A and B are shown apart, each in its own frame.
Chain A
Amino acid sequence: MTTTPVKQKKRGGLREEFRNPERRTAYYMILPALFIILVVAFYPIAYSLYLSFHQANINVVGNFVGFQNYVLMFQNTEFLEGLRNTLIFTVVSVFFEFVIGLAIALAINQAFRGRGLVRAAILVPWAFPTVISAVMWRLMFQDQVGIIQYAASTLGIISDPILSSQTLLLIGAILVDTWKTTPFMALLILAGLQTIPGEVYEAARVDGASVWQRFFRITLPLLKPAILVAVLFRTLDAYRIYDLFWAMSNRELESLSTFVYKGVRISQLNFAVGNAASVFIFITAFLIAIFFIKGLGMQTSTEE
C-alpha cells in the first residue's frame, strides 16, 4: 500500500495514470481489495491509536488524556521487564539463528548424497506448532521428569530448578527459539545461495581468490538480499514473541506481547496501558522494518 504512491509520482501523477484506460481498469479492480485492507487492517490500528490517547477501559472510552497511558506504561515495572526481555531475546536469538542458519545453508548447499532428505529433516523443529514445542521443552526443563534439569544437576552446572529462575528461563527461551527457527533461516538463506551462479566462483578461483575471499567478496554480498529478508522476518517474529514465553514459563517470563495480553485480556484495569503497549509494539516493529528497508538497503520489490 505504501509503495503505490511513490510509483505514481515517478510516472507522472494520478491523473495521467487514470487517463490510460487499461491502468484505470486495473485501479478499479484493486479498489475492493484496498477497501478491505482499509477496513480490516487500517481501521483497528487507527482505533487502538485513538484509544491509547484516552482513559479507556474495556467497557467505556473516557476522556482524552494525551500521553498519560504511555507515561504509565513506561513507569510500569512489568512493561520495562518485558521490554528488556524482548530486546535481549530478539538480539541474541536472531544472532544465533543467523550464524547457525548461514552455516547450515552453506553446508547443505553442497552436492552430497541424501541432500534432499537432510533438507527436509532440518525443517522438523520448525514444523512444530510453537505452543507444543514450548510445552515439550517445559517438560524437559522440569525437575521431576525433565532430562535437561537432570543432566544439568548431575553435571553440577545448575542446582536450582530451571523453571523458577527468570534468567535461566530467558536463556532457555533463546535456546528453544534458536532450535526451532534456525531451519527457517537456513532455508531462506539456502534459497538465496542457489541464485548465485557458479561461474562467479569459477572466475574468482581462476583469479586466485582464497576461500575466505570468495566468501566475503562474493557469497556474502550476493546473499545480502536474502539475508536481509530472513533476518527481518525473524527479528519481527522474535520481537512479538508471545506463545513460547507464555507456554514455556507458565506466565513467569514477561515479554512485550505477554504484557499486552495481561493488560487487555486478563486485567480489568490495565486495558488502556495494555493497549498503549500494543501501539508501542506496532510502531517500533514498523520502525525496525523501515530501518531494514531504508537503512540497510533491503529491496522490497523485484522491479529495477
Chain B
Amino acid sequence: MMRKVSGSKRGASRQNSLAVVRRRLTRRSFLKLGGAGLAGAALLGVPGCSGGGGGNGNGEFTFAMGQDTTGALPGLVERFNQQYEGQYVCNYREMPTDTGQYFDQLRTEFQAGGGDIDVIGGDVIWPAQFAAFGFLVDLSDRFPESERGSFLPGPVDSNIYEGAIYGLPWYTDAGLLYYRQDLLEQSGFSEPPQTWEELKEQAQKVVQDSGTENGFVFQGADYEGGVVNALEYVYSHGGRVLDENDPNTVVVDSPEAAAGLQTERSMIEDGVSPQSVATYTETECEPIFLRGESVFLRAWPQTYSIAGNPQDSVIEQAQVGVAPLPAGPGGQSVSGLGGWNLFINAASDPEAQEAGYEFIRFLTSSEQQRAYAQEGSRLPTLQELYEEQEVLDAVPVIELAGEQTLQNAEPRPVSPFYSDMSLRMGEQFNASLNGELSPEEALQTLQEELEQIIEQGQNTVA
C-alpha cells in the first residue's frame, strides 16, 4: 500500500515538473511528453487518491498514526494488506509526530464531523477526551472482558471511560529507574534502591564517594512529563487525583498526595537533585545521565538503547542498571503509564469500521506485537509475550527492570477534560517542586481548580 501512496506523490511531482518543462519544449514534444506524463500520473496517482474516503465497498479504510520514528510501522501495514489481499485495504495516513499537534489535528477533524479516518492510533490519555464527545466507537461488545485479561491491566484500563471500552492496547511504556551499577557497587550497594528514602541515601553516599555532580535527575518541568513524574510520587504514597469509583470527585488534596509531593520536593531539599530539576524535561535529564553526571535517572524505556551509543553517551551500557521506580512508605512502586492504543472513529461508515476492527485485531495479535517489538523495540501489551525469550531480547530493558514494572503502571487521571487538568496539575506540581508553594498549598489550589474544571465540564458536555 505504501507503494501506492508514494505513487500518487510521484504523479503529482511529475505534473509539477511538466509545468516547468512546458516553457522550454516545442509544442509537439510537449504534447508527447505530456501525454506520457498524464498517463503515468493516471496510472500511479489514481489508486493513491482513493485513500481517505473510508469504506467504499471494497474493504478500504484509513489508519491514522503519528510518524513512527523506528520506521517499522509501514512494514506492519504492508503485511496486513498482503495477508488480507482482496478483502481489506489499509491506507496509512501519517500524522504529526508531536503528540499535542496530532491530538489537536484529530480534534479538529472530529469536530468537522470527519469520517476521513477510520482507525486511530492514539495516546493512552485520549480515550476519555474523545469518547465523552462521542467521537469513538464503543468496543465493549467486540472486546469483552473475557478477552481483556490477556493484556496488561494498565493499558486496558486506559481505554475505559464510564464503564465502556473504546480501544485496544497496542504498545506500552512505563517510567523506570536507571542507575549507575558500577558506582553503586563501588559504594557498596549491591541492590538498587527499593524506596525513595533508600534512593536518597544511596545517591548521597555515591555522590560523596565518586564525586558525581548529581544524585538523581528526573522530569520536573511544567509540562506533561512533569505531571507523570509527580503522579508517580503521589501514587506510590497512596494518593489519587480522582476517586476511583467516581471520576467526578476530586481527591487530590489528601495527606498521602502531600507526602508524595513532599518526597519529590525533598530530592531538592536534601541535595540529591539540583534545584533546576524543576525545569528539566527528557531533553535535559537524559544527556546528564549519559554524560555520567548523575547516579540515578527516571526515564522511559527507550533511553536504554541510547546508553552505550558512543555518539550520545559517555557511559557504557554495562554501567547502567534498570529497576522499577522506588516505592513510597506504603510499599508500592508505581510507574506512570505511557503508550498507544487503537480506536475506531464513530463517524466512519460501518463497513470501514468492520475492516478497521480486523486491522486492530491484526496489530494487537501476538504475532504482530512480537514483530513490532523486534523491529521497532515497542513494548507489547500482551502479557504472554513477556515469557518469550526472543521478545525479551528485543526489549532487554524490560528483562532488567522486570515485567512487574509494566504490571504496576498506572494511567493518569481519566477525564474528558484531561488537557485542562494536565495544565493545572503541571503548574501546581511544578510550584511545589520549585518550593514556591508547600505541597499542601499546591494540592489545595489544585483541588479547587480540578473541581472547577469538572463542574465547568459537566455543563459543557450536558
Tell me if B31 is interfacial: C-beta within 8 Å of chain A: no
Tell me if A154 is interfacial: C-beta within 8 Å of chain B: no
Q: Which residue of B lies closest to A267 (CB)?
A: B420
Q: Mask for A39-73, Cβ within 8 A of B = 1, else 0? A: 00000000000000000011100000000000000
Tell me if B275 is interfacial: C-beta within 8 Å of chain A: yes
Tell me if A266 is interfacial: C-beta within 8 Å of chain B: yes
Tell me if B313 is interfacial: C-beta within 8 Å of chain A: no
Contact A163:B100 (CB < 8 A) given known A144-B288, A250-B222, A269-B453:
no
B417 touches A59 (CB 8 A): no
Contact of B423 among A144, A164, A262 (CB under 8 A): A262
- Among A234-254, those with CB < 8 Å from B are 250-252
Contact of B278 among A57, A144, A161 (CB under 8 A): A161
Tell me if A23 is interfacial: C-beta within 8 Å of chain B: no
Q: Mask for A249-293, Cβ within 8 A of B = 1, else 0? A: 011100000000010011111100000000000000000000000
Tell me if B419 is interfacial: C-beta within 8 Å of chain A: yes
A250 touches B281 (CB 8 A): yes
Q: Which residue of A lies closest to B103 (CB)?
A: A266
B276 touches A161 (CB 8 A): yes
Contact A58:B281 (CB < 8 A) given known A266-B100, A269-B417, A269-B460:
no
Please report the C-alpha to C-alpha distance between residue A138 and residue B129 in the assembled complex, in whole angstroms.
33
B284 touches A265 (CB 8 A): no
B419 touches A160 (CB 8 A): no
B423 touches A143 (CB 8 A): no
Please report the C-alpha to C-alpha distance between residue A266 and residue B419 in the assembled complex, in whole angstroms.
6
Residues of A within 8 Å of B275, CB to CB, are 160-161, 164
Residues of A within 8 Å of B97, CB to CB, are none
Tell me if A109 is interfacial: C-beta within 8 Å of chain B: no
Question: Residue among A143, A163, A164, A265 with the most chain B CB within 10 A?
Answer: A164
B111 touches A270 (CB 8 A): no
User: Could you say which interface size class chain A belongs to?
Assistant: 20 to 34
Classify the secondary structure of A's interface with B.
loop
B423 touches A267 (CB 8 A): yes
Total interface residues on B, CB under 8 Å, equals: 29
Please report the C-alpha to C-alpha distance between residue A109 and residue B42 in the assembled complex, in whole angstroms.
61
Contact A250:B460 (CB < 8 A) given known A163-B276, A268-B416:
no
Please report the C-alpha to C-alpha distance between residue A268 and residue B459 in the assembled complex, in whole angstroms.
12
Q: Mask for B439-462, Cβ within 8 A of A = 1, else 0? A: 000000000000001001100100
Q: Would you give the shortest CB distance from B4 to chain A, in whole angstroms?
A: 33
Residues of B within 8 Å of A164, CB to CB, are 275-276, 278-279, 434
Q: Would you give the shortest CB distance from A158 to chain B, in whole angstroms?
A: 12
Q: Which residue of A lies closest to B278 (CB)?
A: A164
Tell me if B143 is interfacial: C-beta within 8 Å of chain A: no
Q: Which residue of A lies closest to B415 (CB)?
A: A268
Tell me if A142 is interfacial: C-beta within 8 Å of chain B: yes
Residues of A within 8 Å of B104, CB to CB, are 265
- Among B373-410, those with CB < 8 Å from A are none
Please report the C-alpha to C-alpha distance between residue A265 and residue B420 in the assembled complex, in whole angstroms.
11
A59 touches B111 (CB 8 A): yes
B221 touches A250 (CB 8 A): yes
Q: Which residue of B lies closest to A250 (CB)?
A: B221
Q: Would you give the shortest CB distance from A73 to chain B, in whole angstroms?
A: 14
Q: Mask for B418-444, Cβ within 8 A of A = 1, else 0? A: 011001000000000010000000000
Residues of B within 8 Å of A266, CB to CB, are 100, 419-420, 423
Please report the C-alpha to C-alpha distance between residue A58 and residue B129 in the assembled complex, in whole angstroms.
13
Give chain A's interface residues, CB within 8 Å of chain B: 57-59, 142-144, 160-161, 163-164, 250-252, 262, 265-270
Contacts A59-B111, A250-B223 supplied; 18 other A-B pairs, CB < 8 Å: A143-B274, A143-B276, A144-B293, A161-B276, A163-B276, A163-B279, A164-B434, A250-B222, A250-B279, A250-B281, A262-B423, A266-B420, A266-B423, A268-B417, A268-B419, A268-B420, A269-B457, A269-B460
26 A-B contacts (beta carbon < 8 Å):
A142-B279, A143-B274, A143-B276, A144-B293, A161-B279, A163-B276, A164-B276, A164-B278, A164-B279, A164-B434, A250-B221, A250-B223, A250-B281, A252-B222, A266-B100, A266-B419, A266-B420, A266-B423, A267-B419, A267-B420, A268-B419, A268-B420, A268-B457, A268-B460, A269-B456, A269-B460
A-B pairs, 5 with minimum CB distance: A161-B276, A143-B276, A163-B279, A267-B420, A164-B278
